[in-house]
Amino acid sequence: MIEMSRINHQFTIGKKGKERVVPVLHDIDLHVQQSEIIAIVGRSGSGKSTLLNLMSGYIRSTSGTIRIAGQAVSGLSEGDWANFRLAHLGFMFQSFQLIPSMTAYENAELPLVLRGTSAAERKKRVMELLDQVGIADYAAHYPGELSGGQQQRVSVARALMLNPPIVLADEPTGSLDSDNERQLLALIRQLNRERGITFVLITHDDQVAATAHRTLKLKDGYLLNASGKGENNPHEIH
């Protein structure tokens, strides 16, 4: 479902003439199977978020190739990447990234609006998903009126709105208490089991990592498996 081959990435910082190159990722080879949950763990600054941004096309790798759902995406234009994201990827974030001036319903509805779905179809789909994630009774509430767990459920509904085969989650439980974390992880397992959604979870939380079928570790920009070896065999860890 996701294939990253010989990915290297570096940032250039500093003023013109005094630039400094900062390597971030080194020779990343990553293969994620369909309907797999993988967790990528590592310390702050290890390159986890950079790796996720490369998967989503928000930044481009310095070198290497990426294929997602069978399509080579490394050379896509910005417009084509935007269309590809809308069709194939859902996103969950630690900060939820809900729009404060929009209700839970409107936040969840946004991907359908961007796709041009009719109002009647949008209503049916939004209420169906809000109900599935247990937040339908709060559809008219604004993010500021919801708890952290409720906001994350709205975020999950929005991520699933277009039936993406892949969901990328950046520290999805980082702003949740223990009870809401357990509920969210149970929901992720349910969605994976019932819908076959592939999840890539970026985390430093052992409980989140334990939810995954496979755990990988980023250390100093190198991708290792949980035993500290290179990530050469995608079926090595279960």
What is the CATH classification number for the domain harbouring 10? 3.40.50.300
Which pLDDT band, with edges at 50, 70 and 90, does 226 fall under? low
Q: Is residue 233 part of a domain?
A: no
- pLDDT for 27 beyond 90: yes
Please give the residue range of the domain that contains residue 75.
Answer: 2-225
Q: Is residue 59 domain-resident?
A: yes
Q: Can you give the pLDDT at residue 114?
A: 87
Q: Predicted confidence band at 17 (pLDDT cuts at 50, 70, 90)? A: confident
What mean pLDDT is predicted for residues 58-63? 91
Give the C-alpha separation, 200 to 3, whole Å: 12
Instruction: With respect to residue 232, please indicate whether it lies within any of the assigned structural domains.
Output: no
Higher pLDDT, residue 228 or 140: 140
Whether 201 maps to a domain, the answer reads yes
What pLDDT band is residue 100 in, cutting at 50, 70 and 90? Answer: very high
Domain count along the chain? 1
Task: List CB contacts of 37: < 8 A, sequence separation 6 or more.
Answer: 188, 189, 192, 198, 199, 201, 211, 212, 213, 214
